Amino acid sequence: MIDYIKGQIVELSPTYVVLETNGLGYFISIPLPTYTLLSHQSEAKLFLHEVVREDAFLFFGFATKKEREIFQLLISVSGIGVNTARMIMSSYSVEEIQEIIAAGNVLALNAIKGIGSKTAQRIIVDLKDKILKGRDEISSQSLLSDKNAQIKEEAVAALVMLGFPAGSSQKAIDNILKEQSQLEVEQLIKLALKIL
């Protein structure tokens, strides 16, 4: 299994990206939040989920491991295919999806095209325990991000002074901190400059 792919963005649309690495162009389906994140970048690193069928070999790419994990949880539900899962992930952020499932909010899932009441209820029944179990991880991550708040603030301020937009600077810093939480300000800025 391929865990992630890193390469040059050759083509980008709200539903897919073509990444070139070592002379090969990979067509990767993406959800909307990943498109938003990639829209100001020339290079990308995406965490992959592979789907192998008789007639196709498909890649689904995500900006973070957490996004991929939620996608894989969604497709584990009977009746939820890869396209429906991607539609859910394009409609809500990872945090919102977790909150919707944990709260048993059928109406929020019903608002997504192609998801009826029965399917929404099945998603909640199948995933609620798994989402609640993962809540401890989420709260420990938020504690970690509180520790990094000052470092993050300084790094974003430095990038803005260098002429980068505040929004994309913040996203870049957030993504780096998810992967490597124990960085100093200088290291954080250097890594952010590589992806901005």
* β-bridge partners, 43: 8
Task: Name the percent of the chain lying above pLDDT 70.
Answer: 92
CA dist 102 and 123 (Å) reads 11
The pLDDT of residue 141 is 54
Q: What tens digit of pLDDT does each residue of 125-170 get?
A: 999 988 887 665 555 555 555 556 778 888 888 888 888 888 888 8
CA dist 128 and 30 (Å) reads 25
In which residue ranges of the chain is pLDDT below 70? 134-148
Q: Are strands 57-62 and 43-52 parallel, antiparallel or unpaired?
A: antiparallel
The domains of the chain, with CATH numbers, are 4-62 (2.40.50.140), 66-134 (1.10.150.20), 148-195 (1.10.8)
**Three-state helix/strand/coil letters over 128-156:** HHHHHHHHHHHHHHHHHHHHCHHHHHHHH
The pLDDT of residue 3 is 93
The pLDDT of residue 61 is 96
The pLDDT of residue 24 is 95
User: The whole model's pTM is what?
Assistant: 0.66
The pLDDT of residue 171 is 87
SS3 state at 187: helix
CA dist 129 and 146 (Å) reads 26
CA dist 148 and 126 (Å) reads 34
